[in-house]
Amino acid sequence: MTLRAKDDGTIVPRSSALPFNGARKLFTSGDVTILEKDAPVDVETLALGDFHAIRAIAARLGWLHEEPIEIECVNCEQPMRVTPCETFALGPFEERALSDAELDTTLAFGTVHPLPSLSADRYEPSTVVFRPITLGEAAPLHVALARSRLRITAAVVTAMGIEALGNDRAPERIAAELRTCSDHAFQALTSFFLMSHYPPRLFAMARCSNCGARNDVDAPYEREFAVDEAPPELANSLRSNEEAAFVSFDDFAVKAEEIYADIVPDEAKRELTFLVEGGTPACDDGGDPLLGSYVPPHPGDDMNPSRQGEISVFYRTFRAVWEDEGDFDWEDELEETIEHEFEHHIGFLRGSDPKDEEERAEIDIEAVRIHGRRTLVRRGVTAFGQDLLDFWRRTWFFWILALIAMAALTWSRN
């Protein structure tokens, strides 16, 4: 599938009260044409998921207006203002590399998904089954979402592609059930709807300018529903511990010191500094907050003083995992983290650190999955060229002096 812009120009932003109507008009006005094997495609016939992917691409190319959003950095908690699709990765679409088992997979249609009880008066759980829908078939849902209050009708049920709710298959009965169902059940149902039509690849990474952390945001950000909680099948494995207090920093630090004392031999302690950080965690090259880090020793030079090797563990990253995942054996993870960072020190002393190479390889693999191999190669070439240009700008005078000296030497010899 190909997008062709009229005159290759930037499209004037459009707005409408109806969700996604700006995108609909973009593709029906003639400004941008969707082609399949060089034949125009009616946007209303697109699978809903394909339409949302094309929305992200159009916004990334500047053909569709997208409002900035305010988020809080997941690591340092500083406010960030981002326009999600500005950093949406186009590489895999350009390379037709959309076969990643995780990033390019949506929930299978026709599959039974578990729901909590639809009513507070009943305790038996329910289920939902979705069928595929096109953009045109979803239109009644989008019209209903534009109203001040969403009313679930038989037409909306059909537009959502709900094939069955529990044992009910009639849209009228399903609509009646959903109009009176619990918020918890409706949130689970809508999360399954989104997971059926938005592959995980439809996200963008925003790097925090303060701490460098990777912040993933939906791209496109505007979607039919907002998901406030994970559906039941995910909630079983990702049980939140937000209400239970994590261990205090002081108690965490005491335990970390005990583990460090047990793991690291006394002779190695003389070469290392151990830190328990309570502030903003450092991030790896991929932007993920670290549980721990190792900085090799530096012998010192004219620019920098000598320093010992340094092992750090980051309290706030452990606390964030506790709050997100629930049953988290932080003491066991802390021990593994300190052991891991000490192995980095051993590798440094030996002159080879396979763990560091493995971690960097994992970051590179993840970057290829998200951005595409060719895109990263192009960026690498561009960066190399920029480095050469910067080097020339800084040193051109000395190179000219060297050339003059060489020319003078050659002339004198002749």
314, β-bridge pairs? 277
Q: Six-digit token pair at 246?
A: 């994590």
Structural contact between residues 178 and 111, judged by C-beta atoms closer than 8 angstroms: no
Question: Looking up tokens 């995910």, which residue turns up?
Answer: 234
Q: In the chain, where are the structural domains located?
A: 2-94, 249-371, 373-414
Q: At what angle do helices 48-60 and 135-145 cross, to 10 degrees?
A: 70
Separation CA 23–CA 20 (nearest Å):
5
Distance CA 100, CA 93 (A): 12
| Confidence at residue 265, expressed as pLDDT on a 0 to 100 scale | 96
Q: Please write the tens of the pLDDT for every residue from 302-348.
A: 666 778 999 999 999 999 999 888 778 999 999 999 999 999 999 99
Contact in structure between 275 and 312 (CB atoms under 8 Å): yes
> Tell me, what's the pLDDT at 126?
95
Q: In sequence order, what are the residues at sequence separation of 6 or more whose Cβ sits closer than 8 angstroms to the Cβ of residue 215?
A: 71, 73, 74, 80, 82, 205, 206, 207, 208
Q: Enter the tokens of residue 188.
A: 């689970």
Nearest C-alpha neighbor of 336 from the set 318, 357, 358, 363 = 318
pLDDT, residue 123, reads 76
The CATH topology of domain 249-371 is: Zincin-like (3.30.2010)
Cβ of 61: how many Cβ atoms within 10 Å?
A: 17
> Taking residues 143-160, what's their average pLDDT?
95
In this structure, of 118-132, 259-273, 317-331, 380-394, the range with the lowest mean pLDDT score is 380-394
- Whole-angstrom CA distances from 70 to 80, 81, 82, 83, 283 are 6, 5, 7, 9, 22
Looking up tokens 């020339």 gives 392
Cβ–Cβ under 8 Å, residues 34 and 41: yes
Give the three-state DSSP class for 40. Answer: strand
The pLDDT of residue 245: 86
Structure-block tokens of residue 123: 């305790």
Which one, of 266, 148, 282, lies nearest residue 211 by Cα?
A: 282
Q: For the segment 225-279, what is each residue's pLDDT rounded down to a tens digit?
A: 986 544 544 444 444 455 568 999 999 999 999 999 999 999 999 999 999 999 9
Rounded to whole angstroms, the Cα distance separating 385 from 391 reads 10
Angle between helices 373-413 and 354-371 (to 10 degrees): 110
The reply to whether the predicted model has a pTM over 0.85 is no
Tokens at residue 373, please? Answer: 């191999």
pLDDT of residue 373: 81
Tokens 């690291």 sit at which residue?
264
Q: Is 212 left (phi over 0), alpha (psi -120 to 50) or beta?
A: left
